[in-house]
Copies of this chain bind each other. A is one copy, B any other.
Amino acid sequence: MNQEYPSTLLERAVKEFSKLPGIGRKTATRLVLHLLRRNESEVAAFSEAMLTLKREAKYCKVCHSISDTDICPICANPKRDQSVICVVENIQDVMAVENTMQYRGVYHVLGGVISPMDGVSPSDLHIDTLVSRVAEGGVKEVIMALSSTMEGDTTNFYIYRKLSQYDVRLSVIARGISVGDELEYADEVTLGSSIVNRTPFNGKTI
């Protein structure tokens, strides 16, 4: 769609908005014109919140998750099991696992996965600090919770090699049929994996 904008200021704001993932020109225009209808103080609050976040966001020195403090609340929490580290790609994944309320250990945010196609090599990720945490001792288990993609698998294997010299249990999150999914529509790899990695059944499915 060759949309002509009646104002260059409008066009620039739309352009900035459409750089965001999943936001096309049409959605961007709608969002920008919505903001334009709000008070100047509201627009200022919106603009300022983003810039302040970028300028002042801190990252936990232990797990690299975003934090207001040098050590994030999870790493600093004495009730969390510091001997279990869940390795995730990014901050969203920390929040996703936290939302399950099923995990009481700590995290390690890699900042991505190894992807030669996208120019992401192991040195671009927080792998060294993960190895240091394990080398320091006190870590019993490292749970790999990366995406089930080729890049995720490559990263799993790379970390497996790096950690193999240490006395630490390595595990990956279970791959299987999603809750609510019908068997006939599951792909063969997932279904196969869910049979191989079947779990003991005690009468309760969840």
- The interface of chain A, by Cβ under 8 A from chain B, is 1-10, 12-13, 15-17, 19-23, 27, 29-36, 38, 40, 42-58, 65-68, 72-74, 90-92, 94-95, 98-99
Contact = CB atoms under 8 A, between A and B. Distances in A.
B16 A66 contact: no
Residues of A contacting B: mostly: helix
Q: How many copies does the complex hold?
A: 2
21 contacts: A2-B99, A6-B65, A6-B66, A6-B67, A6-B72, A6-B91, A9-B57, A9-B66, A9-B68, A10-B53, A13-B49, A13-B52, A13-B53, A19-B42, A20-B35, A21-B30, A35-B50, A38-B54, A44-B54, A47-B48, A47-B50
Contacts of A9: 49, 52-53, 56-57, 66, 68
Contact of A12 (B2, B4, B6, B53): B53
A40 B55 contact: yes
A109 B66 CA distance: 45
Contacts of A73: 6
Contacts of A47: 47-48, 50-51
Given A1-B99, A53-B36, A68 B7 contact: yes
Contacts of A31: 20-21, 23
